[in-house]
């Protein structure tokens, strides 16, 4: 079976974030369960990164699988313009119950990047609809918000975006809160260009793709205070941080902050099906109510609020029980203990953690294309653990069902790599392409 998969793959498939001229053959995965992936030979691979940060309760969770099957047999898809259905309406109500106060409207999309596009467009058009157009967006240095054009524009300029820079709109940059004075810079921006500023977009409390850079809750609170006073929207990109990753359901809740717009995806369906959502305040929603049809929000996706995906999300939300809270607390504490043992180890520049997200910054050339990340990825796969370092930053962001013994296995792989263990020679192309 694996031979036929690879034959078709090499001839016809284009993989994300992959340099096909150099990359080795991908690993064919046949099934998954809990924290484990199984290739077509039956070899188990521990999923220490929740398959790109999406899998919350574990792979193939029976409650979510059952909800998907039942919904697929009842209503698979319907246009969401002019129609509605129970899974979408119930999910919107369930999300509003759990979101920071003031977020009362849910606009569905397909993924994290499109949820960000929706938030930016809602902010800009709401000001225009009110007759006071603002065109400026502010974002953090080292941010990542997705790979569609608006999301790329809000993200940091770098290897992901340099090919498209002439086509990206200008964004006011604020210092990365993990290394600079964001609030002083925001004060200066509001003083000079506040009349132009529509929104400030942030990844609350942790900048993910730039290396799991953790930042202070007080800074997020300060951003909220300043934007609210200036009548500027705060957009919280919780695509990665949402659904318990930082401790509470949303990172904004950890800081006691209510944004004007909040973007969700990844863990929204438990990581089983693609679905995005953007939450907005009633004030923003009201800016689109008008007898003038030109003030409509002209945005939508073919699969907006797909009933099966919404059913999966409802089933996932139902799994956020006291037991899930305890599991996340256990993972958080295990991370803390393991990182403490790595702190100061030869080859470790820094360790950092927030909730179930843990990172080890390796003492090697920094940047997403750092070779040490490919080396660690190769070694960990050889040892049956899926890690995908962000350059020289290795991170562990596991499903909540992951046991302490499984976490110990992840950290043992990292420790042995630091002690000098390496994968078999792989040539110049590297094991996992960036």
Residues forming the active site: 17, 144, 237, 266
CA atoms within 13 A on the CB side of 245: 35
Annotated ligand binding at 126? The verdict is: no
Is 429 annotated for ligand binding? no
3-state secondary structure of 131: coil
What is the C-alpha to C-alpha distance for residues 299 and 261, in angstroms, rounded to an integer?
16
Could you write out the DSSP letters of every residue in 52-64? HHT-SS-BT-HHH
144 is in an annotated binding site: yes
Q: How crowded is the C-beta side of 199, counted as CA atoms within 13 Å?
A: 26
Instruction: Find out whether 300 is annotated in a ligand binding site.
Output: yes
Contacts of 74 (CB under 8 A, 6+ apart): 307
Q: C-alpha distances in angstroms, 194 versus 65, 232, 262, 307? A: 48, 8, 21, 41
Q: Is 113 annotated as a binding residue?
A: yes
In 3D space, the residue among 216, 261, 258, 263 whose CA is nearest the CA of residue 243 turns out to be 263
Residue whose pair of structure tokens reads 């920094």 in the numeric block: 366
- The answer to whether the CB of 375 falls within 8 A of the CB of 423 is yes
| 237 annotated to bind ligand | yes
Q: How far is CA 363 from CA 98, 129, 197, 343, 367, in A?
A: 40, 51, 39, 12, 12
Do the annotations mark residue 266 as ligand-binding? yes
Annotated binding site: 52, 112-113, 144, 237, 266, 300-302, 388
Annotated binding site for substrate: 52, 144, 266, 300, 388
């Amino acid at each position: 079976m694996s031979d036929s998969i690879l034959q078709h793959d090499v001839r016809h498939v284009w993989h994300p974030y992959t340099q096909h001229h150099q990359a080795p053959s991908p690993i064919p995965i046949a099934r998954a369960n809990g924290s484990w992936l199984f290739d077509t030979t039956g070899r188990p691979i521990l999923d220490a990164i929740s398959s790109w940060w999406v899998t919350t309760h574990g792979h193939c969770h029976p409650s979510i699988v059952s909800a998907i099957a039942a919904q697929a047999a009842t209503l698979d898809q319907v246009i969401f313009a002019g129609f509605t259905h129970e899974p979408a309406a119930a999910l919107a109500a369930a999300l509003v119950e759990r979101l920071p106060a003031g977020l009362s409207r849910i606009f569905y999309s397909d993924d994290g990047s499109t949820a960000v596009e929706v938030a930016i467009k809602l902010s800009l058009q709401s000001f225009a609809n009110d007759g006071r157009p603002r065109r400026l967006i502010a974002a953090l240095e080292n941010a990542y918000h997705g790979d569609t054009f608006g999301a790329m524009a809000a993200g940091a300029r770098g290897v992901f975006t340099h090919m498209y820079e002439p086509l990206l709109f200008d964004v006011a940059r604020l210092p990365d809160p993990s290394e600079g004075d964001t609030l002083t810079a925001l004060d200066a921006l509001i003083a000079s260009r506040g009349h132009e500023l529509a929104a400030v977009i942030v990844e609350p409390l942790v900048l993910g793709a730039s290396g799991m850079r953790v930042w202070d809750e007080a800074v997020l609170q300060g951003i909220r205070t300043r934007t609210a006073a200036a009548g500027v929207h705060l957009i919280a990109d919780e695509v990665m941080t949402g659904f318990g990753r930082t401790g509470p359901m949303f990172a904004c809740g950890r800081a006691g902050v209510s944004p004007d717009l909040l973007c969700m995806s990844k863990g929204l369906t438990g990581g089983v099906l693609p679905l995005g959502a953007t939450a907005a305040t009633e004030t923003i929603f009201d800016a689109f109510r008008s007898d003038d049809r030109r003030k409509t929000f002209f945005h939508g996706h073919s699969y907006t609020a797909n009933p099966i995906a919404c059913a999966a999300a409802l089933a996932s939300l139902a799994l956020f029980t006291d037991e899930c809270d305890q599991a996340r607390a256990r993972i958080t504490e295990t991370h803390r203990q393991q990182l403490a043992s790595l702190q100061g180890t030869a080859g470790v520049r820094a360790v950092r953690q927030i909730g179930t997200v843990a990172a080890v910054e390796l003492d090697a050339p920094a940047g997403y294309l750092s070779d040490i990340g490919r080396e660690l990825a190769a070694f960990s796969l050889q040892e049956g653990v899926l890690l995908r370092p962000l350059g020289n930053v290795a991170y562990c962001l596991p499903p909540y069902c992951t046991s302490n013994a499984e976490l110990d296995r992840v950290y043992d792989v990292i420790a042995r790599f630091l002690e000098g263990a390496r994968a078999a020679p792989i040539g110049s192309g590297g094991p996992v392409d960036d």
